[in-house]
Protein backbone atom coordinates (compact mmCIF):
# COMPACT_ATOMS: atom_id res chain seq x y z
CA UNK A 1 0.00 0.00 0.00
CA UNK A 2 1.15 3.51 -0.73
CA UNK A 3 2.34 6.05 1.80
CA UNK A 4 -0.47 7.93 3.53
CA UNK A 5 0.07 11.64 2.90
CA UNK A 6 -1.53 14.93 3.96
CA UNK A 7 -0.32 17.11 1.10
CA UNK A 8 -2.59 20.13 0.76
CA UNK A 9 -4.22 19.49 4.14
CA UNK A 10 -4.11 21.87 7.11
CA UNK A 11 -3.93 20.39 10.61
CA UNK A 12 -4.60 22.35 13.80
CA UNK A 13 -3.19 20.75 16.95
CA UNK A 14 -3.69 22.04 20.48
CA UNK A 15 -1.14 21.48 23.22
CA UNK A 16 1.44 20.85 20.51
CA UNK A 17 4.49 22.33 22.20
CA UNK A 18 5.36 19.20 24.14
CA UNK A 19 4.69 15.49 24.44
CA UNK A 20 1.87 13.96 22.45
CA UNK A 21 0.90 17.18 20.68
CA UNK A 22 4.46 17.84 19.57
CA UNK A 23 4.72 14.29 18.21
CA UNK A 24 1.43 14.69 16.35
CA UNK A 25 2.52 18.03 14.86
CA UNK A 26 5.79 16.60 13.59
CA UNK A 27 4.01 13.51 12.27
CA UNK A 28 1.54 15.53 10.22
CA UNK A 29 4.29 17.80 8.91
CA UNK A 30 6.48 14.84 7.90
CA UNK A 31 3.60 13.65 5.70
CA UNK A 32 3.00 16.95 3.98
CA UNK A 33 0.41 18.77 6.09
CA UNK A 34 0.57 22.44 6.93
CA UNK A 35 0.46 22.59 10.72
CA UNK A 36 -0.80 25.12 13.25
CA UNK A 37 1.01 24.52 16.53
CA UNK A 38 -1.04 25.77 19.49
CA UNK A 39 0.41 25.89 22.99
CA UNK A 40 0.36 28.33 25.91
CA UNK A 41 4.13 27.83 26.13
CA UNK A 42 5.09 30.33 23.43
CA UNK A 43 8.72 29.22 23.32
CA UNK A 44 7.80 25.57 22.88
CA UNK A 45 5.20 26.30 20.19
CA UNK A 46 7.67 28.45 18.29
CA UNK A 47 10.34 25.75 18.54
CA UNK A 48 8.05 23.06 17.09
CA UNK A 49 6.93 25.33 14.26
CA UNK A 50 10.54 26.31 13.53
CA UNK A 51 11.63 22.67 13.42
CA UNK A 52 8.90 21.90 10.89
CA UNK A 53 9.93 24.81 8.70
CA UNK A 54 13.61 23.87 8.99
CA UNK A 55 12.74 20.48 7.53
CA UNK A 56 10.94 22.04 4.59
CA UNK A 57 7.40 22.06 5.97
CA UNK A 58 4.87 24.81 6.61
CA UNK A 59 3.90 25.69 10.17
CA UNK A 60 2.96 28.55 12.42
CA UNK A 61 2.75 28.93 16.17
CA UNK A 62 -0.34 30.06 18.06
CA UNK A 63 -0.29 30.74 21.80
CA UNK A 64 -3.81 31.80 22.78
CA UNK A 65 -5.75 29.97 25.50
CA UNK A 66 -8.16 27.56 23.80
CA UNK A 67 -10.29 27.27 26.93
CA UNK A 68 -11.59 30.75 26.10
CA UNK A 69 -13.96 31.48 23.24
CA UNK A 70 -11.67 34.22 21.94
CA UNK A 71 -8.61 31.98 22.01
CA UNK A 72 -10.29 29.08 20.23
CA UNK A 73 -11.78 31.36 17.59
CA UNK A 74 -8.45 33.07 16.97
CA UNK A 75 -6.78 29.67 16.51
CA UNK A 76 -9.06 28.67 13.66
CA UNK A 77 -9.03 32.19 12.18
CA UNK A 78 -5.22 32.17 12.20
CA UNK A 79 -5.22 28.83 10.38
CA UNK A 80 -7.69 29.92 7.71
CA UNK A 81 -6.12 33.36 7.26
CA UNK A 82 -2.65 31.86 6.80
CA UNK A 83 -3.34 28.60 4.98
CA UNK A 84 -6.80 29.18 3.51
CA UNK A 85 -8.62 26.32 5.22
CA UNK A 86 -8.69 23.79 8.05
CA UNK A 87 -9.01 20.06 7.37
CA UNK A 88 -7.93 18.39 10.61
CA UNK A 89 -8.38 19.34 14.26
CA UNK A 90 -6.57 17.42 16.98
CA UNK A 91 -7.81 18.41 20.45
CA UNK A 92 -4.87 17.42 22.60
CA UNK A 93 -4.28 20.24 25.12
CA UNK A 94 -4.57 19.22 28.75
CA UNK A 95 -3.61 19.86 32.36
CA UNK A 96 -3.79 17.95 35.63
CA UNK A 97 -4.95 19.15 39.03
CA UNK A 98 -5.08 15.82 40.85
CA UNK A 99 -6.74 15.76 44.24
CA UNK A 100 -8.77 13.23 46.21
CA UNK A 101 -12.46 14.05 45.96
CA UNK A 102 -12.82 15.07 49.61
CA UNK A 103 -10.07 17.67 49.13
CA UNK A 104 -10.73 18.95 45.61
CA UNK A 105 -11.66 22.61 45.24
CA UNK A 106 -14.17 24.05 42.76
CA UNK A 107 -11.29 25.92 41.18
CA UNK A 108 -9.33 22.72 40.56
CA UNK A 109 -12.46 21.14 39.10
CA UNK A 110 -13.21 24.09 36.82
CA UNK A 111 -9.63 24.49 35.59
CA UNK A 112 -9.41 20.92 34.32
CA UNK A 113 -12.86 20.87 32.70
CA UNK A 114 -12.10 24.22 31.07
CA UNK A 115 -9.05 22.96 29.20
CA UNK A 116 -10.05 19.40 28.38
CA UNK A 117 -13.79 19.56 27.76
CA UNK A 118 -14.55 23.22 27.15
CA UNK A 119 -11.40 23.61 25.07
CA UNK A 120 -12.30 20.63 22.87
CA UNK A 121 -15.81 22.03 22.46
CA UNK A 122 -14.67 25.56 21.63
CA UNK A 123 -12.00 24.60 19.10
CA UNK A 124 -14.29 22.06 17.43
CA UNK A 125 -17.12 24.58 17.31
CA UNK A 126 -14.88 27.22 15.77
CA UNK A 127 -13.78 24.75 13.08
CA UNK A 128 -17.06 22.92 12.50
CA UNK A 129 -18.68 25.55 10.28
CA UNK A 130 -15.62 25.59 8.00
CA UNK A 131 -15.56 21.81 7.78
CA UNK A 132 -19.26 21.69 6.91
CA UNK A 133 -18.70 24.30 4.22
CA UNK A 134 -15.83 22.29 2.71
CA UNK A 135 -17.81 19.06 2.94
CA UNK A 136 -14.85 17.39 4.58
CA UNK A 137 -13.08 17.24 7.93
CA UNK A 138 -11.42 15.10 10.54
CA UNK A 139 -11.51 15.73 14.30
CA UNK A 140 -9.48 13.63 16.70
CA UNK A 141 -10.25 14.22 20.37
CA UNK A 142 -8.21 13.06 23.34
CA UNK A 143 -9.94 11.20 26.14
CA UNK A 144 -8.18 9.06 28.75
CA UNK A 145 -8.33 5.67 30.45
CA UNK A 146 -9.06 7.69 33.60
CA UNK A 147 -12.26 8.96 32.02
CA UNK A 148 -13.25 5.60 30.60
CA UNK A 149 -12.49 3.52 33.67
CA UNK A 150 -11.94 5.94 36.57
CA UNK A 151 -8.86 6.70 38.66
CA UNK A 152 -8.35 7.71 42.27
CA UNK A 153 -7.66 11.42 42.72
CA UNK A 154 -8.80 12.37 39.23
CA UNK A 155 -12.53 13.08 39.51
CA UNK A 156 -12.10 16.36 37.63
CA UNK A 157 -9.93 14.86 34.89
CA UNK A 158 -12.06 11.73 34.56
CA UNK A 159 -15.29 13.73 34.31
CA UNK A 160 -13.78 15.97 31.64
CA UNK A 161 -12.41 13.06 29.65
CA UNK A 162 -15.66 11.10 29.71
CA UNK A 163 -17.36 14.30 28.59
CA UNK A 164 -15.02 14.28 25.60
CA UNK A 165 -16.36 10.84 24.68
CA UNK A 166 -19.94 12.14 24.62
CA UNK A 167 -18.84 15.14 22.57
CA UNK A 168 -17.07 12.81 20.13
CA UNK A 169 -20.10 10.57 19.68
CA UNK A 170 -22.47 13.47 19.04
CA UNK A 171 -20.14 15.35 16.66
CA UNK A 172 -19.70 12.14 14.68
CA UNK A 173 -23.48 11.91 14.24
CA UNK A 174 -23.89 15.58 13.31
CA UNK A 175 -20.90 15.59 10.97
CA UNK A 176 -21.68 12.37 9.11
CA UNK A 177 -23.48 13.87 6.11
CA UNK A 178 -20.66 16.39 5.62
CA UNK A 179 -17.88 13.76 5.57
CA UNK A 180 -16.66 14.98 8.95
CA UNK A 181 -15.30 12.02 10.89
CA UNK A 182 -14.82 12.42 14.63
CA UNK A 183 -13.01 9.91 16.83
CA UNK A 184 -11.17 9.87 20.13
CA UNK A 185 -7.99 8.32 21.43
CA UNK A 186 -7.27 7.27 25.02
CA UNK A 187 -3.47 7.40 25.06
CA UNK A 188 -1.06 5.76 27.45
CA UNK A 189 2.19 7.64 27.01
CA UNK A 190 5.19 8.88 28.96
CA UNK A 191 4.96 12.67 28.92
CA UNK A 192 5.43 15.61 31.29
CA UNK A 193 1.88 15.00 32.56
CA UNK A 194 2.43 11.32 33.28
CA UNK A 195 6.11 10.97 34.13
CA UNK A 196 5.29 10.57 37.84
CA UNK A 197 2.98 7.64 37.06
CA UNK A 198 5.49 5.46 35.18
CA UNK A 199 9.03 4.30 35.89
CA UNK A 200 11.71 6.10 33.91
CA UNK A 201 12.50 2.99 31.85
CA UNK A 202 8.95 3.15 30.43
CA UNK A 203 9.80 6.31 28.50
CA UNK A 204 11.01 4.48 25.40
CA UNK A 205 8.22 1.90 25.29
CA UNK A 206 5.47 4.45 25.97
CA UNK A 207 6.85 7.28 23.87
CA UNK A 208 4.38 9.72 22.27
CA UNK A 209 5.65 8.59 18.87
CA UNK A 210 3.95 5.22 19.47
CA UNK A 211 0.58 7.02 19.69
CA UNK A 212 0.84 9.38 16.71
CA UNK A 213 0.34 6.77 13.94
CA UNK A 214 -3.23 6.14 15.15
CA UNK A 215 -3.94 9.89 15.17
CA UNK A 216 -2.62 10.15 11.62
CA UNK A 217 -4.82 7.29 10.46
CA UNK A 218 -7.98 8.64 12.11
CA UNK A 219 -7.24 12.03 10.53
CA UNK A 220 -6.61 10.67 7.05
CA UNK A 221 -9.16 10.94 4.24
CA UNK A 222 -8.95 7.18 3.63
CA UNK A 223 -10.12 6.33 7.16
CA UNK A 224 -13.86 5.56 7.09
CA UNK A 225 -14.31 5.23 10.86
CA UNK A 226 -16.24 7.75 12.93
CA UNK A 227 -17.65 7.94 16.44
CA UNK A 228 -15.19 5.48 17.98
CA UNK A 229 -12.73 5.49 20.87
CA UNK A 230 -9.37 3.73 20.85
CA UNK A 231 -6.94 2.88 23.62
CA UNK A 232 -3.41 3.35 22.34
CA UNK A 233 0.08 3.14 23.78
CA UNK A 234 3.39 1.39 23.24
CA UNK A 235 2.26 0.27 19.78
CA UNK A 236 -0.89 -1.50 21.04
CA UNK A 237 -4.26 -0.24 19.77
CA UNK A 238 -7.66 -1.48 20.92
CA UNK A 239 -11.21 -0.29 20.35
CA UNK A 240 -13.04 0.75 23.51
CA UNK A 241 -16.83 0.65 23.36
CA UNK A 242 -19.91 1.19 25.50
CA UNK A 243 -22.17 -1.85 25.39
CA UNK A 244 -25.48 -2.84 26.89
CA UNK A 245 -26.16 -6.29 28.32
CA UNK A 246 -29.29 -8.36 27.66
CA UNK A 247 -31.07 -7.04 30.72
CA UNK A 248 -34.18 -8.27 32.47
CA UNK A 249 -37.84 -7.28 32.16
CA UNK A 250 -39.41 -7.13 35.63
CA UNK A 251 -42.90 -8.54 35.97
CA UNK A 252 -43.96 -6.74 39.16
CA UNK A 253 -41.55 -3.80 39.15
CA UNK A 254 -40.71 -3.94 42.85
CA UNK A 255 -37.38 -3.32 44.51
CA UNK A 256 -37.43 -6.92 45.77
CA UNK A 257 -37.69 -8.13 42.18
CA UNK A 258 -34.69 -5.97 41.30
CA UNK A 259 -32.81 -7.65 44.15
CA UNK A 260 -33.82 -11.15 43.03
CA UNK A 261 -32.76 -10.48 39.43
CA UNK A 262 -29.58 -8.53 40.20
CA UNK A 263 -27.14 -11.16 38.78
CA UNK A 264 -29.07 -11.30 35.48
CA UNK A 265 -29.39 -7.50 35.35
CA UNK A 266 -25.60 -7.34 35.54
CA UNK A 267 -25.02 -10.01 32.88
CA UNK A 268 -22.70 -8.81 30.13
CA UNK A 269 -23.56 -11.21 27.31
CA UNK A 270 -24.98 -11.20 24.78
CA UNK A 271 -24.33 -7.48 24.53
CA UNK A 272 -25.23 -4.89 21.92
CA UNK A 273 -23.41 -1.70 20.97
CA UNK A 274 -25.91 1.06 20.11
CA UNK A 275 -24.60 3.63 17.64
CA UNK A 276 -26.77 6.47 18.93
CA UNK A 277 -29.55 7.33 21.37
CA UNK A 278 -32.31 6.41 18.94
CA UNK A 279 -30.85 2.94 18.39
CA UNK A 280 -30.41 2.37 22.12
CA UNK A 281 -33.99 3.49 22.81
CA UNK A 282 -35.32 1.24 20.07
CA UNK A 283 -33.42 -1.73 21.47
CA UNK A 284 -34.77 -0.97 24.93
CA UNK A 285 -38.38 -0.69 23.76
CA UNK A 286 -38.12 -3.89 21.71
CA UNK A 287 -36.75 -5.62 24.78
CA UNK A 288 -39.95 -4.76 26.62
CA UNK A 289 -42.20 -6.33 24.00
Give the residue numbers marked as catalytic. Answer: 157
d(CA 72, CA 93): 12
CB 90 within 8 A of CB 14: yes
* Nearest residue to 163 (alpha-carbon basis) of 181, 147, 145, 184: 147
Q: What is the 3-state secondary structure (H, E, C) of 253-286?
A: CCHHHHHHCHHHHCCCCCCECCCCHHHHHHHHHH
DSSP state of 60: E
CA distance 194 to 39: 18
Amino acid sequence: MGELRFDGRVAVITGAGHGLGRSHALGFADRGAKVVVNDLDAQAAAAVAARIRTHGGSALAHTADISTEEGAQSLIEKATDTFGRVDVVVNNAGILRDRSFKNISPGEWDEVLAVHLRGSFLVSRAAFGHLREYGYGRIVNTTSPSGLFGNFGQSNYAAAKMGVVGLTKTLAIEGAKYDINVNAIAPIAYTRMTEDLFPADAAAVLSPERVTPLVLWLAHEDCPTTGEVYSVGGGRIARVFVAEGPGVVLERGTVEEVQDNWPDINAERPYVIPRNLAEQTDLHIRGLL
